[in-house]
Amino acid sequence: MAAAASANDKFPKVQGGGSLILAWQIRNKHVLVVGGGEVAAGRILNVLNADAIVTVVCPADGLNPEVRHRVANNEVHHIDRVFEPSDLESLPASNGNAPDMVMCAIDDPAASTQVWKLCKQHRIPANIADVPPECDFYFGAVHRDGPLQVMVSTNGKGPRLAASIRNFIAKSLPPNVGDAITQVGTLRSKLRQIAPKTEEGPKRMRWITRVSDAYSWNDMVDLTDEDMDNLLKFYGPNKVPDLDVLKGMRGGREAEEIDVFDGSFGFCIGV
């Protein structure tokens, strides 16, 4: 009994009822959007931001101004008619292939359910707007700052509340956090160039983690290309220099040439 109690304290408890929140990579994948109203416009923008190829099936007179703008600027492909079951088998924009994802946003519950059932037959993940039981995935409230994306999900229960929570989180984040993440991404790319081997992976990850812990977000934003190149010199010996040392290396100086006061000595005056 004591051993069982100890195990229960050691491991996290399962909390059912949630969703598996993932960063779904849909770059160059084909997304079919059924409908062209306000809800569809928001869905379209979300997947365009993820670099998807989008086809909208909707009569032209059902397109709202934003979707009409996307069509006019060739940001999406438009089929001027209502949805047909064959759309789940072949569409011109996908070179005759089935879509990889379907989103339905029309004001017809019966037709929406039919789209859902057809998607299940074709094993295509789908989202039926405002019908949580007929969704393989939900859209959350997202804060975006360059490469940073923070999503708040209420699992379809309170979208408006999710937006309020997102705004609260966004206000608490530093204004330059997106730039800092971009810098870390640049550093990682440079590191892969000098240490490309697969077996270097664990060391690369540990070193990048140490760099991220050693420097503040403001410090990362201020690093120049020269600073990054100098920083990479410390990867081999698996070290992370103090920021003062790194900045002192500007202009071609080596770390050994730089004297940095570390506070290890001093003096006092007696009165």
- C-alpha separations of 197 from 149, 178, 186, 189, 201 in Å: 29, 29, 18, 13, 7
Name the token pair of 38.
Answer: 């306000």
Give the Cα-Cα-Cα angle 45, 161, 25 (nearest 5 degrees): 35
Q: According to the model, what pLDDT value does residue 260 have?
A: 53
Q: According to the model, what pLDDT value does residue 266 have?
A: 45
Which residues, given as ranges, of the chain have pLDDT below 70? 1-8, 259-271
| Residue 17 identity (one-letter amino acid) | G
Please name the CATH architecture into which domain 177-254 falls: Orthogonal Bundle (1.10)
Question: Domain 141-173, what fold?
Answer: Double Stranded RNA Binding Domain (3.30.160)
The matching CATH number, chosen from 1.10.3720.10, 2.30.22.10, 3.40.50.720, 1.10.1840.10, for 30-139 is 3.40.50.720
Q: According to the model, what pLDDT value does residue 61 have?
A: 96
- State pLDDT tens for residues 62-74: 999 999 999 999 9
Which amino acids are annotated catalytic?
Answer: 130
Burial of 228 (0-12, 13-18, 19+ CB in 10 A): middle
Q: According to the model, what pLDDT value does residue 270 have?
A: 46
Classify the C-alpha dihedral 47-49-54-58 as positive or negative: positive
Q: What is the domain partition of the chain in residue ranges?
A: 30-139, 141-173, 177-254
Q: According to the model, what pLDDT value does residue 109 have?
A: 94
Of 264, 262, 263, 241, the closest CA to residue 253 belongs to 241
Q: According to the model, what pLDDT value does residue 89 have?
A: 94
